Structure 1
């Protein structure tokens, strides 16, 4: 018998004070997030925010020619749809499920009402948003200054932090989107890490064999992002 999903497996939901938790609980809707599912498109009006528990969602910016590039990932540490409660209602990015799993969603109206209360949830969400902005900024720096090898290590580590275990299931297409390169480039970079004994890579399945080695091979960007999440968010949200 499969245990039902638990909203508290999302660290933001787990950090809610008791009064807010009891107010939100009846409004949270469990959802399955399938690989490649688009939660919202660029410019679309958001109807819900999403709190992944076992899924990972990739935030992609799509160019006019259709070429996508990842700007951030969201998993069990956070929420998808910050522009909704920040007042923008929509965003130029796309939210696409990078790793299939479960999560919960909350209607836009409920989220905005909670944010407007200016209570503890407001403070929590603002600190989370600052951490997310750090990840987006550091991704831009990494893509400009560091090798594809470094970028792949950073992306794999960020994804690992949001999953239980050392197995990642990502299509070659999604990996290419993450790094903003052609699929052949992804394969070449992944095979380098495999030759070094850090991962095992086969048809979109990645098993991390040596996490410490992966961290050593990564650039400074992963550590910068992790420190900022740990600094800004409560201990129960630490990755």
Structure 2
């Protein structure tokens, strides 16, 4: 797949991370701003199809705004919208490319900056294609995998619930423990990024130490059966999907 495809995916996922992080819902104002930011960041790819791509981005964000009003199912629709982006960009930037490559003017600017900018020199040393693939893969691990995990946890009804003490009895309420979900999201992101990069570097054995360390830090909390199910299912999903993305990235970059 062309470098432009992975660059576009990285831009879209970065924007979704910025505007739709966690429980943050997409209002119509944010949807418009998100469309503008994505169009601006994708300017290097615009040749003769500026208006078509910009209108397509606006249409996707209109659908995303509607999907975010659907309660628990919003996480599924967020993931499906991401997959629609993947299919759409694969069509536009596959072998029969409409865009060809980065815009000529952008290429000239990069070439001009190369002797003077260490970051550009380092990027060219790694290779723009490899860098785009790694960036897209790491952002997918951070955000898109989290959307899928949240949906699965909600459908399995293993999300942590707020516990209230009533005399000597502990009553588990019907309200989700948002603080624990936020904590779990951050831990999951760190865990997936470590698994992602350790897999790419071939240090598979290190993944066991990561999972063991996570279990050790939450050992006391695992006495609660409901919480233990949440941690176990979430960890297995998180680690498996991070491994899957890492294997796919490794196959692309060789």
TM-score, L = length of structure 1:
0.30
Larger Rg computed on CA atoms: 2
Instruction: Decide which structure has greater strand share.
Output: 1
TM-score, L = length of structure 2:
0.29
